[in-house]
């Protein structure tokens, strides 16, 4: 099975369910909470690290049963029981719910990619599930190449774009300005100069496109 359709999801406020209470479930819950999801955990027991976070998610102290996933936007099957994970996958597939089965790529309809995040910059790395270790190595290399300065760069571009929408009436000129921002080497500037100094450069560039 090939996972070749690359998407990014806004999980803020969505109902996501993790079935399982072990170390893998812990990592999945932490990741979903970081994205603002409303998380439910289904498991008869939780490892101590997960139990310590219990005020941040809903705990259904049950073994898995069909029907417990009703209303879920996304489900992660993270139990250590192959038959249970298969049952979860089957229910999700039948009910058109996104599901990641941690021990079966074939039964999943999405996988979670290794990712580099710097503010609004997101670079995802996938080996189609063949080698998470290779994905992790590439992610580490990218983290060295794309540092925190890229987050600051995108903040400045967002501000400049909003200003350009108000002050550059000609569409072609506005596109030229935005392309010039992408080409002027802002990350390198931010490694050498303060954010305020680079912001002045961006504003000067913007003013050059005013009629």
What percentage of the chain's residues is helix, strand, coil (to nearest 5)? 45, 15, 40
Same structural domain, 78 and 155: no
Phi-psi region of 12 (alpha: psi -120 to 50; beta: other; left: phi over 0): beta
Same structural domain, 54 and 101: yes
Range of the domain at 163: 149-207
Domain boundary among 122, 146, 170: 146
Same structural domain, 133 and 181: no
CA dist list (Å): 27 to 78, 125, 134, 151? 10, 18, 19, 25
168 within 8 A of 144, measured Cβ to Cβ: no
Q: In this predicted structure, what is the pLDDT of residue 129?
A: 82
pLDDT tens digit string along 114-125?
Answer: 999 999 999 999
Rounded distance between C-alpha atoms, residue 7 and residue 54, angstroms: 30
Is 178 domain-assigned?
A: yes
pLDDT, average across residues 69-88: 97
Same structural domain, 101 and 138: no
User: Which residues, listed in sequence order, are joined to residue 69 by a DSSP beta bridge?
Assistant: none
Average pLDDT, the chain: 95
Under the banding of pLDDT at 50, 70 and 90, the label for residue 203 is very high
pTM for this model (two decimals): 0.86
Domain boundary among 58, 88, 112: 112
14 is written with which tokens?
Answer: 């969505």
Is 5 domain-assigned?
A: no
Is 202 domain-assigned?
A: yes
Is 6 domain-assigned?
A: no
Same structural domain, 135 and 118: yes
Same structural domain, 60 and 127: no
Q: In this predicted structure, what is the pLDDT of residue 2?
A: 77
Is 175 domain-assigned?
A: yes
CATH number at residue 91: 3.40.50.720
Same structural domain, 56 and 81: yes
Is 195 domain-assigned?
A: yes
Same structural domain, 141 and 160: no
Same structural domain, 104 and 48: yes
Is 19 domain-assigned?
A: yes
Residue 1 has pLDDT above 70, yes or no: no
Domain count, the chain: 3
Residue partners of 196: CB distance under 8 A and separation at least 6: none
pLDDT tens digit string along 154-200?
Answer: 999 999 999 999 999 999 999 999 999 999 999 999 999 999 999 99
Is 69 domain-assigned?
A: yes
């Amino acid at each position: 099975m090939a996972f070749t359709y690359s998407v990014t999801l806004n999980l803020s406020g969505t109902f996501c369910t993790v079935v399982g209470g072990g170390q893998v479930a812990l990592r999945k819950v932490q990741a979903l909470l970081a994205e603002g999801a409303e998380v439910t955990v289904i498991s008869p027991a939780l490892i101590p690290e997960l139990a310590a976070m219990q005020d941040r998610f809903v705990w259904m102290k049950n073994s898995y049963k069909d029907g417990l996933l009703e209303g879920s936007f996304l489900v992660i099957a993270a139990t250590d029981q192959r038959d249970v994970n298969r049952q979860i996958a089957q229910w999700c597939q039948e009910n058109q719910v996104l599901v990641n089965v941690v021990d079966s790529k074939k039964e999943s309809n999405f996988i979670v990619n290794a990712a580099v995040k710097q503010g609004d910059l997101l670079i995802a790395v996938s080996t189609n599930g063949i080698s998470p270790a290779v994905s992790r190595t590439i992610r580490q290399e990218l983290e060295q190449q794309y540092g925190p300065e890229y987050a600051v760069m995108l903040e400045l571009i967002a501000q400049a774009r909003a200003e350009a929408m108000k002050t550059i009436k000609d569409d072609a000129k506005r596109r030229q300005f935005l392309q010039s921002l992408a080409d002027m080497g802002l990350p390198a500037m931010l490694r050498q100069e303060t954010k305020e100094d680079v912001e002045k450069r961006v504003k000067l560039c913007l003013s050059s496109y005013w009629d």
